Amino acid sequence: MMSRGDDPQPQALAKPTFSDVQASALVESVFGLKVSKIQPLPSYDDQNFHVCISSTKDTADGPTEYVLKISNTESSKTPELIEVQNHVSMFLRAAGFPTASVHPTTGGNLTSLVAVDGGSGVASYLVRLLSYLPGRPIAEIPSSPQLLYEIGRLAGKLDETLQTFHHPKLSSLRRENFIWNLKNVPLLEKYLDALGQSRNREIVVEVIQLFKDEILTKLSHFRECINHGDLNDHNILVESSTSASGDTSYRVSGILDFGDMGYGYYVFEVAITIMYMMVESKRPVHVGGHVLAGFESVIPLTPVERGALFLLVCGRFCQSLVIAAYSCQLHPENKDYLMITAKTGWKHLQHMFDLGQKAVEEIWFETARSYDSGVSL
């Protein structure tokens, strides 16, 4: 959703600016599909289009809706990373997850590097075409305990399944200085001026210090895995169904955006998921227990990992909120989009901090324990 990279600034300045007509021409020339309708989709540092294609006898068996993804110039310089992301999405789809398939180019490749003169010289962009996934972002619906549990379980299943993923360029996922890797919370120090002098800044400074003391010293005790890294409330799609008694239930219909994928730890995935599920919740502090119970139904955390969860959730709040504030200074015209999390995020972070680790853990762990007895709180 926001700027991605070792430093947000170059990424933010490198967003593609293709028109609908240019994007249509790309779909037809690179992928050999005839476009019947195209419209932009929200994005920050890449450019996405929802594409409908005209059915022909050659395409009758395939999807008729796609997402054209045009990577920013910085990401386009690391094609091996995008190649791994493509293969992960296809690997998970084959394993039964609702992830996108990747439509090959006319030359049989999964991506194509296109050079375009944007008026200030030629720039190269990686383009790919993904199947369009149905559903509504989970941000748009009220999240029940059962759905939160299912999201936690999904996060656990995802990490568990990726244990068996292999690719010759897998090492590209070791993104040591990637600003969105959860272990890099201390890198936020160089963006603190975006917060001015405020209570928010004081909390972030305190979280960073605690993170250095309590998390970085324990990393060797966490179990490593490949993380999706961004299971936020806009990257998980759901579809509803109504039972005979009139009750509405939701199932996950899409997992989007593997752009933040990298090596991390199981506890990182559950912490990131908890934080984003809190954003729109009416009872944010209670979210964590349901997500944790779902995750631990697949991968139980160790006591050390559990003990780190509170600070990791606070750390992810800080990453999201500080980078949003910094990016808003660079691009005030994108403020509404960038500040989606900030609308409630600062309030949630302050509330967690005021309650304190012991009180929050008590709520989370008691809720998670209630699932063992079959009575969810």
Co-location of 117 and 148 in the same domain: no
Assess whether 121 and 140 both reside in one domain: no
Distance CA 257, CA 317 (A): 19
Note if the pTM is more than 0.85.
Answer: yes
- The reply to whether 7 falls in a domain is no
Q: What is the pLDDT of residue 120?
A: 59
Instruction: Please say whether the beta carbons of 52 and 82 come within 8 A.
Output: no
4 in a structural domain:
no
- Looking at the domain assignment, is residue 9 inside a domain? no
Residue 122: how many other CB atoms lie within 10 Å? 8
- Tell me whether residue 8 is in a domain: no
User: Measured between alpha carbons, how far is 211 from 213 in angstroms, rounded to an integer?
Assistant: 5
| Same domain? 221 vs 311 | yes
Domains in the chain, number = 2
Structure tokens of 278?
């809190």
- Tell me, yes or no, whether 140 and 125 share the same domain: no
Residue 80 lies in a domain: yes
Q: For residue 110, give the CATH number of its domain.
A: 3.30.200.20
Q: 264 and 368, same structural domain?
A: yes
**Residue 110, C-beta contacts closer than 8 angstroms, at least 6 positions apart:** 83, 86, 87, 102, 104, 128
Q: Within 13 Å of residue 240, how many CA atoms lie on the same side as its CB?
A: 12
Classify residue 337 by its DSSP letter: H
CATH assignment of the domain containing 216: 3.90.1200.10
Written as tens digits, the pLDDT of the chain (377 aa) is 344 444 444 344 467 888 899 999 999 999 999 999 999 988 767 899 999 998 765 555 666 899 999 998 888 999 999 999 999 999 999 999 999 999 999 999 999 999 887 555 788 999 999 999 999 999 998 889 999 999 999 999 999 999 999 999 999 999 889 999 999 999 999 999 988 888 899 999 999 999 999 999 999 999 999 999 999 999 999 998 877 777 788 889 999 999 999 999 999 999 999 999 999 888 999 999 999 999 999 999 999 999 999 999 999 999 999 998 888 777 666 556 556 666 788 999 999 999 999 999 999 999 999 998 665 55
pLDDT computed for residue 56 by the predictor: 64
Regarding whether 257 and 142 lie in a shared domain, the answer is: yes
Judge if 216 and 195 occupy the same domain. Answer: yes
10 found inside a domain: no
223 with 95, same domain: the answer is: no
| Predicted local distance difference test score (pLDDT) of residue 117 | 72
Do 32 and 169 fall within a single domain?
Answer: no
**Domain span at 97:** 20-131
Q: Is 15 within the bounds of a domain? A: no
Task: State whether 87 and 160 are in the same domain.
Answer: no
- Catalytic one among 45, 46, 159, 230? 230
Q: Is residue 3 part of a domain?
A: no
**Domain end among 100, 131, 162:** 131
Asked if residues 46 and 120 have their Cβ atoms less than 8 Å apart, the reply is no
Same-domain status, 281 and 142: yes
219 and 331 share a domain? yes
pLDDT at 121: 72
pLDDT for 58 equals 59
Contact assessment for residue 224 and residue 263, using Cβ atoms and an 8 Å cutoff = yes
- Let me know if 230 is a catalytic residue: yes
Q: Determine the pLDDT at residue 2.
A: 41
Residue 328 confidence (pLDDT): 76
Decide which of 131, 164, 192 is a domain's last residue. Answer: 131
**Angle, alpha carbons 245-251-253 (nearest 5°):** 140
Domain final position from 66, 100, 131: 131
